[in-house]
């Protein structure tokens, strides 16, 4: 198969444009199967950027790049297991011959490409080229015969069951709608209570789910359009069996159903390398990428046993005239044939369990690792929350402490300012009284008695002591207050508030600017009232 044919084949399989198919094929070294598998697993854009690697599930050879090589590649994938099954298959020899002939044709078609690639390293000699040409001419009739036989074979029902699929015609039905249609048909035939809980979406969505949950994906592929009876028998005996239900429960697998007449299911069939239909494929993501664990289908002898299990009870009922057979050898035969369905289901599930057992350990380890990581994240989150709470508490305490310290500092500053002001006021008052004491203590300051316009004032203190002095009538009343303030602190305390009262009639001398003559204080007696005021701020001596 030359490169344009590969591009066309990939375009038909994936339903993408020619440019996308060409880019994906080039990214995978012109290997068609690797390109299809990469597209199914990662999508068109990611597959076009991926380097050329072995496809999902491994085992794809570089020569297995066309639809004709699918059966040959599948036999290499399953090895001796399929060889053992072929002993029970009456038509396996013809299928193997067809597949081998088609593979030879594909290798012959791809030989020029390999020769041209090898020519970049070392140009083959003329003898080798001549030998290759002779062999090609000799085998050309056989190649044409193989292609013709394959074209006829793939249209037969048996050929479709053997995996010789043809790409479905392009359709506007989406992958999600196709999967839901397959499930709806199953529920319509067998009821809502029978069978697995099918995943209600496309294959890619199911893959994304198992990537998150680390559970396997059980893929059921059927072709009810080609052989509805075989599909129904498979559904009743296998899909509705308690053995499959137990397998799904034990493995926590997600079940997905698809019909190969739809594009996505056909692509999944290519991915799982299915040989027979209906079949069951098991896919897991142990390392985050989908890997095909195994694909199992009914062997010919098992399919025959299921056919007998359904036809014998019907024949016995017809012989009994529509009624159930009476107990006896006939009823025992019916019971025996009915148990064959369970035996076939157990055998099929045992093969699937044997293939899944090694992968289950890896998936279980991945789940344990994920649980450990989740627990570690939860512990870290709790520690972070506790640290943040402690940090916030420390910040609140620090802010409160800083606020208290700032308030204390403000109070201390205010107290210091008050103390400074009180000390300054005390110093000023002390200096004032010292000046007054010096002035009134000087005898020359007191006017003589014989001088005119002189009055004699007597001051009566609260302690009973009297102070007598002469003043000029022109002196203001403030002179009287200054005289009292000039007295020693023992008589008039430093912080005392002095008030002077005329005794008869009693009146307080509040107009300190008025003269004594205007106040009519002539030879008067004044009462001195001392109101002791403690200083607002204590000042150290």
Question: What are 431-440's pLDDT values in tens digits?
Answer: 888 888 888 8
Q: Which residue has the tokens 């009232």?
A: 529
What integer is the mean pLDDT of 340-351?
89
Query: Which residues are registered as beta bridge partners of 508?
Result: 501
DSSP 374-407: HHHHHHHHHHHHHHHHHHHHHHHHHHHHHHHHHH
Rg (CA), the chain: 57
| Phi, psi for residue 532 in degrees, rounded to 5 | -80, 125
Are 289 and 214 in contact by the 8 Å Cβ rule? The answer is no
Give the residue among 360, 267, 351 at the shortest CA–CA distance from 78. Answer: 351
pLDDT-derived band at 82, boundaries 50, 70, 90: very low
Over residues 461-500, the pLDDT tens digits come to: 888 888 898 898 888 999 989 988 888 888 888 878 889 9
Distance in angstroms (rounded) separating the CA atoms of residues 39 and 14: 8
Question: Which range among 253-267, 504-518, 521-535 has the greatest average pLDDT?
Answer: 253-267
pLDDT-derived band at 47, boundaries 50, 70, 90: low
Angle between helices 32-42 and 263-272 (to 10 degrees): 120
Are 161 and 230 in contact by the 8 Å Cβ rule? The answer is yes
What integer is the mean pLDDT of 233-258?
92
Q: Which tokens hold the place of 216?
A: 């396997």
Q: Is residue 142 within a helix (H) or strand (E), and if so which, with residue range? A: helix 126-153
pLDDT at 8 exceeding the cut of 60: yes
Over residues 452-461, the pLDDT tens digits come to: 788 888 999 8
Share of the chain above pLDDT 70, in %: 74
Task: Return the SS3 of 75.
Answer: helix
Distance in angstroms (rounded) separating the CA atoms of residues 322 and 311: 14
Over residues 290-337, the pLDDT tens digits come to: 899 999 998 888 888 888 777 765 544 444 444 445 555 555 555 555
pLDDT-derived band at 535, boundaries 50, 70, 90: low
Q: What's the pLDDT score for residue 31?
A: 85
Q: How far is CA 5 from CA 1, 30, 482, in A?
A: 6, 11, 128
Q: What's the pLDDT score for residue 23?
A: 87
pLDDT at 43 exceeding the cut of 80: no
Over residues 120-142, the pLDDT tens digits come to: 434 445 677 788 888 888 888 88
Q: Which tokens hold the place of 84?
A: 């053992």
Q: Is residue 147 within a helix (H) or strand (E), and if so which, with residue range? A: helix 126-153
Q: What's the pLDDT score for residue 493?
A: 86
Q: Which tokens hold the place of 376?
A: 């570690």
Query: Which residues are registered as beta bridge partners of 281?
Result: 219, 295
Q: Is residue 301 within a helix (H) or strand (E), and if so which, with residue range? A: helix 300-319
Task: Return the SS3 of 328.
Answer: coil
Q: Which tokens hold the place of 232?
A: 């129904």
Task: Please enumerate in sequence order all residues whose Cβ is within 8 A of that of 173, keeping only pairs 6 or more positions apart, or say none.
Answer: 181, 262
Over residues 362-372, the pLDDT tens digits come to: 778 877 888 89
Share of the chain above pLDDT 90, in %: 25
Q: What's the pLDDT score for residue 80?
A: 35
Give the residue among 356, 292, 341, 290 at the shortest CA–CA distance from 73. Answer: 292
pLDDT-derived band at 407, boundaries 50, 70, 90: very high
Q: What's the pLDDT score for residue 190?
A: 87
pLDDT-derived band at 534, boundaries 50, 70, 90: low
Which is it for strands 454-460 and 525-532: parallel, antiparallel or unpaired? Answer: parallel
CATH 3.10.20.90 segments of the chain? 443-532
Give the residue among 312, 371, 317, 362 at the shortest CA–CA distance from 338. Answer: 312
| pLDDT mean across residues, the chain | 77
pLDDT-derived band at 405, boundaries 50, 70, 90: very high
**CATH T-level topology, domain 443-532:** Ubiquitin-like (UB roll) (3.10.20)
Task: Please enumerate in sequence order all residues whose Cβ is within 8 A of that of 270, keeping only pairs 6 or more positions apart, or say none.
Answer: 13, 33, 36, 37, 40, 70, 165
pLDDT at 446 exceeding the cut of 60: yes
Distance in angstroms (rounded) separating the CA atoms of residues 74 and 61: 10
| Candidates 3.40.30.10, 3.40.605.10, 3.40.50.1100, 1.10.150.120; CATH matching 175-368 | 3.40.30.10
Distance in angstroms (rounded) separating the CA atoms of residues 217 and 201: 13
pTM listed for this prediction = 0.45
Long-range pairs for 418-422: beta carbons < 8 A, 24 or more residues apart: 418/536, 418/537, 419/537, 419/539, 421/537, 422/535, 422/536, 422/537, 422/539
Q: Which residue has the tokens 């854009």?
A: 45
Are 161 and 228 in contact by the 8 Å Cβ rule? The answer is no
Question: Which range among 100-114, 165-179, 276-290, 357-371 has the greatest average pLDDT?
Answer: 276-290
Sign of the Cα pseudo-torsion (114, 149, 12, 74, in order): negative
Distance in angstroms (rounded) separating the CA atoms of residues 390 and 383: 10
Query: Which residues are registered as beta bridge partners of 222?
Result: 259
3-state DSSP: the chain helix, strand, coil percent, rounded to 5?
Answer: 60, 10, 30
Q: What's the pLDDT score for residue 150?
A: 66
Task: Please enumerate in sequence order all residues whose Cβ is within 8 A of that of 215, keeping only pairs 6 or more positions apart, or say none.
Answer: 251, 252, 253, 254, 363
Q: What's the pLDDT score for residue 181?
A: 93
Are 238 and 202 in contact by the 8 Å Cβ rule? The answer is no
3-state secondary structure 83-115: HHHHCCCCCHHHHHHHHHHHHHHHHHHHHHHHH
CATH 3.40.30.10 segments of the chain? 175-368
Distance in angstroms (rounded) separating the CA atoms of residues 127 and 117: 18
pLDDT at 221 exceeding the cut of 90: yes
pLDDT-derived band at 350, boundaries 50, 70, 90: very high
Q: Which residue has the tokens 């056909």?
A: 266
Are 28 and 41 in contact by the 8 Å Cβ rule? The answer is no
Task: Return the SS3 of 508.
Answer: strand
| Phi, psi for residue 264 in degrees, rounded to 5 | -65, -45
Distance in angstroms (rounded) separating the CA atoms of residues 189 and 191: 6
Over residues 138-189, the pLDDT tens digits come to: 888 888 888 777 666 655 555 544 445 567 777 788 999 999 999 999 999 8
């Amino acid at each position: 198969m030359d490169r344009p044919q590969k591009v066309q084949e990939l375009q038909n399989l994936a339903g993408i444009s020619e440019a996308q198919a060409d880019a994906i094929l080039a990214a995978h070294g012109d290997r068609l199967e690797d390109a299809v598998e990469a597209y199914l697993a990662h999508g068109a854009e990611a597959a076009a950027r991926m380097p050329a690697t072995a496809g999902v599930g491994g085992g794809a050879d570089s020569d297995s790049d066309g639809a004709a090589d699918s059966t040959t590649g599948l036999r290499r994938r399953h090895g001796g297991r399929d060889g053992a099954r072929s002993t029970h298959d009456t038509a396996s020899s013809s299928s193997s011959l067809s597949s081998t002939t088609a593979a030879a044709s594909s290798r012959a078609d791809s030989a020029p490409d390999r020769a041209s690639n090898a020519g970049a390293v070392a140009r083959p000699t003329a003898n080798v080229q001549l030998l290759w040409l002779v062999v090609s001419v000799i085998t050309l009739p056989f190649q044409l015969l193989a292609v013709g036989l394959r074209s006829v074979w793939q249209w037969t029902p048996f050929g479709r069951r053997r995996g010789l699929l043809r790409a479905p015609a392009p359709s506007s039905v989406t992958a999600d709608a196709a999967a839901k249609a397959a499930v709806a048909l199953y529920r319509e035939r067998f009821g809502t209570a029978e069978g697995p809980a099918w995943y209600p979406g496309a294959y890619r969505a199911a893959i994304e789910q198992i990537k998150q949950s680390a559970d396997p994906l059980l893929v059921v592929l059927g072709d009810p359009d080609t052989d509805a009876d075989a599909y129904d028998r498979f559904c009743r005996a296998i899909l509705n069996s308690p053995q499959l239900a137990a397998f799904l429960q034990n493995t926590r697998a997600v079940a997905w159903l698809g019909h190969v007449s739809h594009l996505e299911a056909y692509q999944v069939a290519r991915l799982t390398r299915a040989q027979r239909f209906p079949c069951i494929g098991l896919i897991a993501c142990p390392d985050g990428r989908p890997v095909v664990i195994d694909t199992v289908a009914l062997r010919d002898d098992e399919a025959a046993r299921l056919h007998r299990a359904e036809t014998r009870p019907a024949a016995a009922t017809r012989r009994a005239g529509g009624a159930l057979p009476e107990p006896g050898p006939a009823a025992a035969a019916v019971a025996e044939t009915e148990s064959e369905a369970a035996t076939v289901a157990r055998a099929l599930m045992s093969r699937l369990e044997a293939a899944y057992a090694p992968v289950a350990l890896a998936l279980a380890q991945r789940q344990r690792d994920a649980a450990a990581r989740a627990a570690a994240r939860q512990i870290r989150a709790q520690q972070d929350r506790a640290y943040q709470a402690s940090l916030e508490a420390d910040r609140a305490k620090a802010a409160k402490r800083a606020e208290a310290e700032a308030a204390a500092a403000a109070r201390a500053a205010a107290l210091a300012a008050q103390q400074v002001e009180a000390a300054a006021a005390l110093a000023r008052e002390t200096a004032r009284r010292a000046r007054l004491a010096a002035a009134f203590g000087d005898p020359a300051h007191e006017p003589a008695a014989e001088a005119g316009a002189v009055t004699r004032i007597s001051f009566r203190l609260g302690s009973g002591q009297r102070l007598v002095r002469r003043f000029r009538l022109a002196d203001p009343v403030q002179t009287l207050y200054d005289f009292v303030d000039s007295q020693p602190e023992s008589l008039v305390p430093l912080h005392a508030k002095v008030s002077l009262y005329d005794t008869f009639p009693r009146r307080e001398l509040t107009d300190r600017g008025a003269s004594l003559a205007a106040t009519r204080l002539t030879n008067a007696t004044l009462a001195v009232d001392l109101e002791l005021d403690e200083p607002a701020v204590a000042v150290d001596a």
